[in-house]
Amino acid sequence: MVSLLKSEAAFEARAKDCGLPGEEIERLKTAGIVNISLLAFATSAPGTPPSEDQLRNLLRPLNPESVGVGTLAALRHLMFECQTLCLAHVKASVEGTDKKVELVPAERSARIASQKDSPMYLEPHRFDTRAAEVAREKPGKELVLDQNKISVKDRSDRGKCAIQDALSLHQALQRRALACDLMSACSYEVLHEWHSFMLERLQQQPPPGCAKPSIEQILRADRIAWVRLAERVHSLRRTASGALPLDAAIADLNRDPTVLFHLLPSRETKAPERPQRDPSKKDDDKKRKIDDKKKVKPDSTKVQKSEMPDELRRRLVPDMRLHPALVLTAMVRRCAPSHSFTSLNLFLNVKTALHIDVNNEQLPNIIIGISDFRGGQVLVENPKGSHTTSTASGDVRADLLEVAGTHAVFDAYRLRHETVDWIGDRLVLVAFSVKGSHLLCPADRTELLKQGFVLPSMSECSTNDPPAKSLACDPSCLPSGLKDRCHDKCLGDMLFLEIFCGTGGLAAAVKKVGIGASVGVSARVTGRTKCSVVPLNLLDPSQHPLLWDMLKRDNIAAVHMSPPQSQDALNSLCTEVIEWCQRAGILLVIENPTASKLWQGPVGNKCKAFGFLKTTLHQCMFGAAHPKHSALFHNFPEVRRLCLVCDGQHQHAPWDSSTDGPISAYPLAMCQSLAHAIRDRLVLSGCATSCPHVSLSRAAQAATGKQPKGSRIPPLVPPRAGFVVLRGPGCFMPPTGVLKQFTPLSSELSALPPVHGLPAGSKCTRSVLYRG
């Protein structure tokens, strides 16, 4: 609602009342002063009268002396009223005495004038016959109470004609067409043609099992048609060529799908046949009285059970009543064979508002449409979505997932979602996982597996159940030729390859931990790239030989892949890379969102077939601004250190904004932790930390006591007297800078070698986030 201080119409009316010429009013509007509140603060704050020079400069800054005395007095009068109204508004707001904001009369008049030429819906019931108008009695008087005043007015005549059949509807529409032609709103021929088009639908033969459109459908379509006319036509006045704007708009109504939707034949519903009474049974008055007493009226506050629709009976097997869980779980496994779920829900005509399933496990939901309905999609939050939904905090972008006749998978535990309106009976099946499924006893797990449920794996390392201590190395997951690849080699000789590197943060971190060469592969190179990148478009098969040339080198030690889940054409290449790395003894890490469809396809199946380990994490625990839930499949156990769950002790940025580069980029701490995991596995597999091959010139420099440049030769004089490894919670760790005095260690920390404190001058050389 527009208040008095913000209304442009009220400002113009007040200026004219004060005697300000129209030319000066236009000057003020050109300067940006279009309402009372802006003028009150144009020269000085309310309560401080403006000077004469300020008023003259306000109207004509280039020639202030040309302002007349009368114009100056009118402007001073208007300025005084504007400042007084602003002060009164502030006082009422502070004291809490301000009344309900109503539309200013000048603003109301301006809006009515702007809408006077727009079309309005004319109901056919309002166009009664002349005979009925003559026979109708004159309306009487009525009492009207308005602002504590009682007045007597003529009662409004709201007579309507009765439309009971097609003939009365045709006559009412004909009278409306004549009235519109008389008012020059539209031509009689054009509107009559539209009326004939609608009435012809009453005579059209419907398809088998459907009924003809009813009179109610014709009236509903007519109302929607006038709504569409109001949206398209903004003025009823004739154009320069003499044509009426409504004529062209009415001619297009028979091609408007929004209007034609209401003229479609509807499904024919038959009344249930009443069962015939057996004449052999005699009436028993006593039994009838007892049965009447047993009848209980349904309580409107209770939820009534609905009958199962025929669509469900036709799609499911006949023994649904005997084994309902087996039938429903089989339907879920057919749609998504690898989807994990502990619970099933059938929802019939249930519409949910925007929410998050907080009691679900951090695994995706699957929703399957069973009955025959239209609409009913699921609106799921997505910063890059093409749709919007309104919330208390503003509009949110989202994706519209189709459900009718198909299925959809989304992260209901972290993404807000709601149901869209639908037509028909909407029956959907939802399969999801609740928290605490790992606490089930063996008997319950066996029973659920017997019923066809796919329970979440208990052996995988995830944020739902992180390891409590360091995990022992499982030889079965390591590639067989890893030790042979690392034999008689040092870290400086090894090569790391990051496929789909993006900004290359991981490749740069691997380079810093001592790996000799670190290269990224990406389709494009941007200014944010942090490592050496080989530009390859892997969607082009002709460029694959260059990638395989790098993969088949003898010194390649580890490979990291983060394939885009939207490119199914890369699945074949990724599976071939997985097979090659596992057979050639190369460390491999594959990253994607936990809910990515990549894990449901060939890539995920290949990782599970080779027995890869799975680790899930939240990137916000490594310094990312967003709580990205990522999953890592890897063939060496050191990556499990990265399993960190969001502790809720920090704030997350909105998904549509980023403060640290692209949302897809890994945070620095995550890159460092993954790089140290790769380095530690290579060292345990026999790779030397320092290169024994030193050139003759560098060896001569070292023999004379001169420290050569570079890191191939260890420093002749160690920069530190010793190193202490501390493990424990981060809140108990000492400061990372140079310690100025002796710092005792907390009992929550474990030190190797054991010490009670750190002497002055100690400094943190490396900090890594670990779990376990």
- Tens-place pLDDT, residues 750-768: 887 778 788 888 888 877 7
Q: Of the ranges 47-51, 447-451, 693-697, which one carries the lowest mean pLDDT score?
A: 693-697
CA dist., res. 538 & res. 497, Å (int): 15
Given pLDDT bands bounded at 50, 70 and 90, which one contains residue 418? very high
Mean pLDDT calculated for residue range 321-331: 78
Of residues 651 and 116, the one with the higher pLDDT is 651
pLDDT for 770: 64
pTM check: above 0.75 = no
Is the pLDDT at 301 greater than 50? The verdict is no
349's CB contacts (< 8 A; 6+ apart) are 306, 425, 426, 427
Instruction: Check residue 306 and give its pLDDT.
Output: 39
Nearest one of 243, 245, 350, 234 to 303, comparing CA atoms:
350
Provide mean pLDDT across the span 57-85: 85
Domains of the chain: 8-114 (no CATH), 167-267 (no CATH), 310-450 (2.60.120), 475-652+661-684 (3.40.50.150), 718-772 (no CATH)
For residue 772, pLDDT over 60 is answered with no
Instruction: Give pLDDT, residue 621.
Output: 85
pLDDT tens figures, 529-577: 888 888 888 888 898 999 999 999 988 999 999 988 777 778 889 999 9
**pLDDT at res. 308:** 46
Residue 564: what are its φ and ψ, rounded to 5°?
Answer: -65, 130
Select from 418, 328, 337, 327 the least CA-distant residue to 368: 328
Instruction: Check whether 693 has a pLDDT greater than 70.
Output: no
CA 681/CA 2 separation, integer angstroms: 69
Pick from 343, 355, 347: which is nearest to 379 by CA?
A: 355
What is the Cα–Cα distance from 521 to 547, expressed in whole angstroms?
A: 8
Task: Identify the bridge partners of residue 154 per DSSP, sorted by sequence position.
Answer: 141
What mean pLDDT is predicted for residues 517-527? Answer: 85
Sign of CA dihedral 92, 97, 103, 106: negative
* pLDDT band of 702, cuts 50, 70, 90: low
pLDDT at 270: 59
Model confidence at 252: pLDDT above 60: yes
| SS3 (DSSP) at 61 | coil
Average model confidence (pLDDT) for the chain?
79
pLDDT at 467 over 50: no
pLDDT at position 117: 63
For the ranges 183-197, 314-328, 590-604, the lowest mean pLDDT is seen at 314-328
Q: Is the pLDDT of residue 214 over 50?
A: yes
Residue 718 exposed, middle or buried by CB count within 10 Å (0-12, 13-18, 19+): exposed
Sequence-separated (6 or more) residues with CB below 8 Å from residue 357: 365, 412, 413, 432
Q: Select the more confidently predicted residue: 704 or 639.
A: 639
Question: In sequence order, which residues have a C-beta less than 8 Å from that of residue 284 and are 6 or more positions away?
Answer: none
pLDDT at 137: 65
Q: What is the pLDDT of residues 200-211, one digit of tens each?
A: 888 888 888 888
Say how far apart CA 453 and CA 378 lie, in whole Å: 24
